[in-house]
């Protein structure tokens, strides 16, 4: 029998209930499934066991500084916009032990992180999030210095992306060229329709998984519906960002009075950086025991909004909220491009939704643009 | 960063180390912080191995005179006699570390600082004539030089362990000064303010507790006091957006750490509004 499974770049169609089979195949291959599930107050990404753990029939309403769960009037599997935190917390954990150092007979002994990296299947990765992962790949895995624990988790991760047909009020991925249709880097990508999922094959591994699932060729009508849903999503972004003249617009306006205005509102609380799927800053701490003979070296998420982060020999280089917010925004939208060749913002809108006072990156840029 | 070099003894490989002498003193307080020290059950033996508990009456009748390498001071200064005592503690201690909301901000008893003290005394005591008290309850740093502060109501054992290890190794004391939000996000706690509209002191409060209250769906009460760069006015404004009225906002800012400047200024402002 010739293998008729669609090739990379081709489409198939699977019945909704057969997503369970995809999960099962992945589990048989040794993957731990991570996906959306309904927590008490939000749809979060967490370990899931089966399709029953998905937030079927649930969605969310997002606005600046506001998020609410909402029951849908259908049984959509992926009918929400985005979880509060991105896949970053799994690929680049907030607290990660790097190694243990022991003093023995006057020398140091290093005990590396022996536990094997988990094999994650990421279920429900949105276009903006996939782009964010690609951006973090560039940060952590290109050039001379790589982050080994990130590499281990990343290389063996399976990505089951889901095209976004539910952009929220704080979304602007279309402005950033990062969505709503998933770009390269997935193994399989789903588009959810009423009765079926249209499946796009993105890798040989994805093709193998699909091959073990009941599938049929995607019909022209189904493909058209999927395309239409995405075209509509693109028209329904809650926010927009005019990216013309970036980064120069920001570089020309480093002393703009709007930075002072934002600093009046900003709490310097770090939430925007922690929920951002591309922010990568960290601190490295030693946690010695009381004998002084042994220490754990631990990496933790840090933020350009924390004071200690910009404390260098001789003092603090960003002592005021004004300079910290300016650093964050100009890095994200301007110097990131110089540093890594792309914008550091994918337009996911998390920093807008999860800022406790609703500071809005799109509005702040627009304000600077309005009165140059 | 409010950190200090401790450097009493340097770790030098496996060699014997002098055990630093530790003393724990109590002023106007509930003893909760001292209990938190005793709460370090798993580590307590290692701690007593590493340091000499020279004076800690809550833990042991054995009380040695100073001088001490480190004095941990719990409680606020509330009576004239305590002013004399804290000066003596300072003279006896190489390092003086204030522990808990009372010692670092005046504590919940500093609520009396907003009232007439004689009224308060008459309200509380059957025989006010026996009471000798100051007009205010104030933090240790108002009276003597303080080398480091451990925040919290109460503090937790991890802070004690950090003090002792830093002391033994002779390195900088490192405790977070950023907001509680950092801990919520690290632990994957969904923001109670954004997702439920609950007023939360977290964005203005120093981390260290592990974000216990938000993890249980409550707003932060501000036990660890003002974070490094608190923006009280902006947080107060957000509380208004959430529908709180001025007296509610006064109560949020005016609790265990209410007398700390950044919180006091906001509660005073909203009290004006309420009038
Ligand atoms: S800057 Fe904001 S909108 Fe852009 S990727 Fe980060 S969290 Fe998303
Ligand atoms: S922009 Fe918002 S989320 Fe970011 S530090 Fe300021 S107040 Fe916090």
Are residue B254 and residue B133 in the same domain, yes or no?
A: no
CB neighbours of residue B236 within 10 Å: 23
Distance CA A241, CA A329 (A): 13
Distance CA B84, CA B106 (A): 17
Are residue A209 and residue A260 in the same domain, yes or no?
A: no
Q: What is the reported pLDDT for B58?
A: 85
- CATH number of the domain enclosing B61: 3.40.50.700
Are residue B25 and residue B157 in the same domain, yes or no?
A: yes
A330-355 tens-digit pLDDT:
999 999 999 999 999 999 999 999 99
Distance CA A279, CA A302 (A): 9
pLDDT surpassing 90 at residue B170: no
Distance CA A47, CA B183 (A): 21
pLDDT surpassing 80 at residue B8: no
Are residue B238 and residue B104 in the same domain, yes or no?
A: no
pLDDT surpassing 50 at residue B164: yes
**Of B145, B169, B193, which residue constitutes the final position of a domain?**
B169
Whether A72 is covered by a domain: the verdict is yes
CA–chain centroid gap for B155, Å, is 6
Q: Which ligand 2 atom minimizes the distance to the CA of A273?
A: 4
User: Domain tally for chain A?
Assistant: 2
Residue A266 CB less than 6 A away from ligand 2: yes
Find out whether A292 and B168 touch, Cβ atoms under 8 Å: yes
Are residue B106 and residue B191 in the same domain, yes or no?
A: no
Minimal CA separation from B120 to chain A, in Å = 36
- Name the pTM for this structure: 0.94
Whether B174 is covered by a domain: the verdict is no
A interface test, pick of B40, B159, B181 with most A CB neighbours within 10 Å: B181
Find out whether A350 and A276 touch, Cβ atoms under 8 Å: yes
Are residue B119 and residue B208 in the same domain, yes or no?
A: no
Indicate yes or no: CB of B186 within 8 angstroms of CB of A95. Answer: yes
Are residue B117 and residue B141 in the same domain, yes or no?
A: yes
User: Which among A67, A293, A308 is the nearest to B194, CB-wise?
Assistant: A67
**Of A235, A270, A288, which residue constitutes the final position of a domain?**
A235
Whether A172 is covered by a domain: the verdict is yes
Q: What is the percent of chain A with per-residue pLDDT over 70, rounded to a whole number?
A: 99
B189-230 tens-digit pLDDT:
999 999 999 999 999 999 999 999 999 999 999 999 999 999
Whether B175 is covered by a domain: the verdict is no
**Of B143, B169, B195, which residue constitutes the final position of a domain?**
B169
Whether A4 is covered by a domain: the verdict is no
Are residue A253 and residue A359 in the same domain, yes or no?
A: yes
Are residue B159 and residue B208 in the same domain, yes or no?
A: no
pLDDT surpassing 80 at residue A234: yes
- Confidence at B262, pLDDT banded by 50, 70, 90: very high
The greatest distance separating any two alpha carbons of chain B, rounded to the nearest whole angstrom, comes to 65
A76-98 tens-digit pLDDT:
999 999 999 999 999 999 999 99
Distance CA A136, CA A291 (A): 38
Measuring CA to CA, which residue among B9, B5, B179, B166 is closest to residue A285?
B166
More confident residue, B1 or A40: A40
Whether A3 is covered by a domain: the verdict is no
Cα distances from B256 to residues A269, B73, B118, in angstroms, run: 21, 17, 22
Are residue B250 and residue B154 in the same domain, yes or no?
A: no
Q: Is A208 helix (H, G, I), strand (E, B) or coil?
A: helix
For B116, the domain range is 3-169
For A316, the domain range is 246-371
Indicate yes or no: CB of B49 within 8 angstroms of CB of A44. Answer: no
pLDDT surpassing 80 at residue A184: yes
Are residue A127 and residue A16 in the same domain, yes or no?
A: yes
Are residue B111 and residue B188 in the same domain, yes or no?
A: no
Are residue A127 and residue A65 in the same domain, yes or no?
A: yes
A320-332 tens-digit pLDDT:
999 999 999 999 9
Distance CA A205, CA B239 (A): 50
Q: What is the reported pLDDT for B45?
A: 85
Helices (H), strands (E): how many in chain B?
12, 5
Are residue B206 and residue B151 in the same domain, yes or no?
A: no
In the stretch 71-130 of chain A, residues with CB closer than 8 A to chain B read 84-85, 89, 94-95, 103, 106
Are residue A221 and residue A256 in the same domain, yes or no?
A: no
ipTM score of complex:
0.96
Are residue A274 and residue A223 in the same domain, yes or no?
A: no
Measuring CA to CA, which residue among A58, A36, A64 is closest to residue A350?
A64
pLDDT surpassing 80 at residue B117: yes
DSSP character for B126?
S
Residue A305 CB less than 6 A away from ligand 2: yes
Find out whether B214 and B161 touch, Cβ atoms under 8 Å: no
Are residue B112 and residue B163 in the same domain, yes or no?
A: yes
B197 touches chain A (CB under 8 A): yes
Are residue A219 and residue A250 in the same domain, yes or no?
A: no
**Of A235, A267, A296, which residue constitutes the final position of a domain?**
A235
Residue A80 CB less than 6 A away from ligand 2: no
Are residue A121 and residue A217 in the same domain, yes or no?
A: yes
**Of A235, A269, A296, which residue constitutes the final position of a domain?**
A235
B interface test, pick of A168, A290, A316 with most B CB neighbours within 10 Å: A290
Distance CA B249, CA B241 (A): 12
**Of B136, B169, B202, which residue constitutes the final position of a domain?**
B169
Are residue B59 and residue B122 in the same domain, yes or no?
A: yes
pLDDT surpassing 60 at residue A3: yes
Are residue A229 and residue A320 in the same domain, yes or no?
A: no
DSSP for A304-367 reads TTSTGGGEETTEES--SHHHHHHHHHHIIIIIHHHHHSS-S-----HHHHSSTT---HHHHHHH
């Amino acid at each position: 029998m010739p293998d008729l499974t669609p090739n990379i770049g081709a489409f198939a169609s699977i019945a909704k209930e057969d997503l369970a089979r995809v999960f099962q195949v992945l589990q048989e291959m040794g993957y731990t499934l991570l996906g959306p599930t309904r927590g008490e107050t939000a749809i979060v990404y967490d370990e899931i066991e089966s399709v029953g753990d998905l937030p079927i029939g649930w969605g969310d309403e997002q606005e600046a500084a506001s998020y609410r769960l909402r029951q849908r009037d259908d049984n959509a599997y992926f009918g929400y916009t985005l979880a509060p935190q991105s896949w970053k917390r799994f690929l680049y954990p907030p607290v990660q032990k790097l190694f243990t150092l022991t003093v023995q007979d006057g020398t140091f002994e290093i005990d590396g992180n022996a536990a094997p990296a988990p094999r994650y299947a990421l279920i429900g990765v949105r276009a903006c999030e996939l782009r964010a992962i690609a951006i973090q790949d560039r940060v952590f895995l290109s050039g001379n210095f790589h982050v080994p624990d990130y590499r281990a988790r990343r290389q063996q991760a399976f990505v089951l992306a889901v095209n976004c047909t539910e952009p929220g009020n704080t979304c602007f991925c279309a402005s950033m060229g990062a969505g709503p249709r998933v770009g390269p880097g997935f193994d399989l990508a789903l588009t959810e329709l009423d009765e079926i999922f249209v499946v796009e094959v993105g890798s040989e591994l994805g093709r193998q998984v699909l091959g073990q699932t009941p599938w049929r060729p995607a019909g022209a009508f189904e493909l058209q519906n999927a395309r239409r849903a995405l075209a509509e999503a693109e028209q329904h972004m809650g926010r927009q960002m005019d990216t013309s003249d970036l980064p120069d617009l920001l570089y020309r306006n480093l002393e703009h009075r709007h930075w002072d205005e934002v600093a009046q509102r900003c709490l310097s609380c770090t939430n925007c950086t922690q929920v951002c799927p591309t922010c990568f800053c960290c601190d490295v701490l030693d946690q010695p025991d009381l004998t002084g003979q042994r220490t754990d070296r631990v990496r933790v998420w840090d933020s350009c909004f924390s004071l200690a982060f910009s404390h260098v020999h001789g003092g603090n280089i960003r002592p005021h909220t004004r300079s910290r917010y300016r650093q964050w925004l100009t890095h994200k939208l301007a110097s990131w491009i110089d540093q890594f060749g792309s914008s550091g913002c994918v337009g996911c809108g998390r920093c807008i939704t999860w800022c406790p006072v609703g500071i809005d990156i799109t509005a702040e840029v627009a304000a600077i643009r309005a009165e140059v | 960063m409010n950190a200090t070099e401790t450097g009493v003894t340097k770790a030098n490989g496996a060699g014997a180390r002098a055990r630093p002498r530790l003393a724990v003193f109590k002023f106007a307080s509930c003893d909760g912080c001292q209990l938190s020290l005793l709460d370090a059950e798993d580590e307590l033996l290692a701690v007593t191995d590493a340091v000499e508990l020279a004076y800690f009456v809550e833990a042991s009748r054995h009380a040695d005179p100073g001088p001490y390498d480190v004095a941990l001071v719990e409680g606020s200064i509330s009576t004239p006699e305590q002013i004399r005592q804290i000066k003596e503690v300072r003279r006896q201690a190489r390092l003086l570390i204030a522990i808990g909301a009372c010692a670092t901000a005046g504590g919940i008893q500093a609520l009396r600082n907003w009232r007439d003290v004689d009224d308060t005394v008459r309200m509380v005591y059957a025989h006010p004539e026996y009471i000798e008290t100051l007009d205010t309850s104030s933090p240790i740093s108002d009276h003597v030089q303080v080398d480091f502060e451990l925040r919290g109501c109460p503090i937790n054992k991890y802070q004690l362990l950090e003090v002792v290890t830093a002391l033994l190794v002779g390195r900088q004391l490192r405790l977070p000064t950023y907001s509680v939000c950092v801990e919520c996000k690290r632990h994957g706690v969904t923001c109670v303010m954004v997702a439920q509209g609950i007023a939360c002191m977290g964005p203005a409060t120093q981390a260290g507790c592990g974000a216990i209250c938000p993890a249980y769906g409550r707003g932060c009460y501000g036990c660890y006091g003002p974070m490094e760069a608190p923006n009280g006015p902006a947080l107060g404004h957000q509380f208004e957006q959430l529908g709180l009225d001025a007296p509610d906002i006064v109560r949020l800012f005016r609790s265990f750490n209410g007398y700390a400047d950044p919180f006091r200024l906001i509660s005073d402002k909203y009290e004006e509004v309420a009038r």
